[in-house]
Structure 1
Amino acid sequence: MSSRTNLTREDWIHAAQEVLVTSGVDAVRVDTLAKELKITRGSFYYHFKSRGELLEGILGNWRARATEDVILHLRNAHSSPLQQLQRLLELPSHGQTAKDAASIELGIRGWARRDKQARQAIDEVDSHRLSYIEGLLIQAGVPSGDAQDRAYLIYAYQISLSLLHSEDTPQQRLERSQRMAGILIPESCTLPA
Structure 2
Amino acid sequence: MARIKAQDAGWRGSAEGWLQAAYEALKEAGIDAVRVMPLAKRLNLSRTSFYWFFEDREQLLAALIARWRDKNTGSLLRQSESYAESISEAALNVFECWLNPEMFDSQFEFAVRSWALQSPEVSQEVAAADQARLAGLAAMFRRFGAEPEVADARARTLYLTQIGYITMNTREEAVERFQRIPHYVTIFTGKAPKRRELDRFYGKFGYAQTDPGVFVPLADTFEEAVSE
TM-based fold match above 0.5: yes
Identity %: 25
d(CA) in 1 for partners of 2:70, 2:86:
21
Return the TM-score normalized by structure 2: 0.73
d(CA) in 1 for partners of 2:169, 2:41:
33
More relative contact order in 1 or in 2 (CA 8 Å, sep 6+)? 1
Larger radius of gyration: 2
Which among 124, 127, 135 is matched to residue 123 of structure 1? 127
What whole-Å deviation, never above 9, does each CA across 1:2-61 have from its counterpart, x for those lacking one? 347263322222211211122211121111101111112233211110101111111111
Which among 148, 160, 165 is matched to residue 156 of structure 1? 160
Confirm or deny: 8 A CA contact 1:130 1:151 kept in the other structure. Answer: yes
Q: Please give the root-mean-square deviation of Cα atoms over the aligned residues, in Å.
A: 2.3
Confirm or deny: 8 A CA contact 2:142 2:151 kept in the other structure. Answer: yes
Amino acid across the alignment from 2:55:
K
d(CA) in 2 for partners of 1:13, 1:57:
7
Match of 1:78 in 2: 83
Q: Which moved more, 1:13-22 or 1:126-135?
A: 13-22
d(CA) in 1 for partners of 2:53, 2:153:
43
What whole-Å deviation, never above 9, does each CA across 1:49-79 have from its counterpart, x for those lacking one? 010111111111100011114423553x533
Written as runs of structure 1 = structure 2, the 5 A alignment for 1:94-173 is 94=100, 97=102, 101-162=105-166, 163-166=168-171, 168-173=172-177
Gap change, CA 1:3 and 1:81, over 3 Å in 2: farther
Question: What is the number of residues matched between the two proteins?
Answer: 187
Gap change, CA 1:84 and 1:46, over 3 Å in 2: farther
Match of 2:201 in 1: none
Confirm or deny: 8 A CA contact 2:182 2:193 kept in the other structure. Answer: no
Confirm or deny: 8 A CA contact 2:92 2:185 kept in the other structure. Answer: yes
Q: Could you tell me which runs of 5 or more consecutive residues in structure 2 were left unpaired when the two chains were aligned.
A: 198-228
Amino acid across the alignment from 1:131:
A
Q: Could you tell me which runs of 5 or more consecutive residues in structure 1 were left unpaired when the two chains were aligned.
A: none
Gap change, CA 1:123 and 1:21, over 3 Å in 2: same
Match of 1:42 in 2: 48
Match of 2:184 in 1: 180
Structure 1's consecutive aligned runs of 4 or more residues displaced over 6 angstroms after TM superposition are: none
d(CA) in 1 for partners of 2:144, 2:73:
21
Return the TM-score normalized by structure 1: 0.85
Q: CA deviation at 1:87?
A: 1.7
Written as runs of structure 1 = structure 2, the 5 A alignment for 1:56-95 is 56-72=62-78, 75=81, 77-80=82-85, 82=87, 83-94=89-100
Q: Specify which structure has the higher proportion of helix.
A: 1
d(CA) in 2 for partners of 1:64, 1:164:
22
Q: CA deviation at 1:164?
A: 4.0
d(CA) in 1 for partners of 2:169, 2:35:
29
d(CA) in 2 for partners of 1:74, 1:148:
14
Amino acid across the alignment from 2:188:
L
